Amino acid sequence: MAAKASPRMTPEEIRRYLVDGHTGILTTLRRDGVPIAMPLWYACIDGLVYAQTRGKKMQRIRNDPRASFLVESGEHWKDLKAVHCTGTAEVVDLDAELSSRFRAEMDRKYAAYRSAAAMPKETSEYYAKARNGIVRFPPDERGLPWDNTKLTGG
């Protein structure tokens, strides 16, 4: 009997996918329990997800740290890949060494995509004044990865 095809990813495939993924979706909870899913750029360092963000996401995390994080890609069913992580998020201050690693990883991934120069002046000023913070999300063991290319040979 032939082995059944599986879309599961190995731990190394999951790690690599998170490191190289482009946009993550961080889902946090409002006070009334309603989930809010927002896209953001992120860095995966030592198996932990870090993102710089502002505003209500940070407040929601302080109120209830339960969160999920999703990275996905693919437009056709045969190309769909994703890693969905669950865990608890926290707003953190980075020490100098980790801050340097975070900035280097964000530059590696996103330098070519930044558009501050193309932003209207008012938008750029708003972002310059916004209270930023770093969110750390350590995925727990309940992650759900899949890679449909393993089912289709794609």
The rounded distance, in Å, linking the Cα atoms of 81 and 19 is: 14
Instruction: Classify residue 35: in a domain, yes or no.
Output: yes
What pLDDT, on the 0 to 100 scale, is given for residue 69?
97
Q: Taking the model in full, what pTM does it have?
A: 0.86
Q: At 72, list the tokens.
A: 């996905």
Residue 153: inside a domain:
no
What are the tens digits of pLDDT across the range 65-92? 999 999 999 999 999 999 999 999 999 9
For residue 83, give the CATH number of its domain. 2.30.110.10
Above 60 in pLDDT, residue 128? yes
Evaluate whether residue 2 is within a structural domain. Answer: no
Q: Which pLDDT belongs to residue 56?
A: 87
E strand spans, the chain: 23-29, 35-41, 43-45, 48-54, 66-73, 81-88, 90-92, 132-137, 144-147
94 within 8 A of 102, measured Cβ to Cβ: yes
Q: What integer pLDDT is reported at residue 3 of this predicted model? A: 56
The whole domain housing 17 covers 11-146
Q: Considering only 35-44, 51-60, 107-116, 119-128, which range has the smallest mean pLDDT?
A: 119-128
pLDDT at position 119, please? 73
Q: Is residue 129 part of a domain?
A: yes
pLDDT (average), residues 32-46: 96
Report how many domains make up the chain: 1
* Within-domain flag for 53: yes
Looking at the domain assignment, is residue 101 inside a domain? yes
Determine the Cα angle at 92 with ends 90 and 97, to 5°.
135
Give the residue-averaged pLDDT of 111-135: 76
Residue 60: inside a domain, yes or no? yes
**pLDDT attached to residue 2:** 52
pLDDT at 110 exceeding the cut of 70: yes
Answer yes or no: is 74 within a domain.
yes
What is residue 141's predicted lDDT score, i.e. its pLDDT? Answer: 87
Q: Would you state the structure tokens that stand for residue 53, as one six-digit string?
A: 């963000």
Give me the percent of the chain exceeding a pLDDT of 90. 69
The yes-or-no verdict on residue 127 having pLDDT over 80 is no
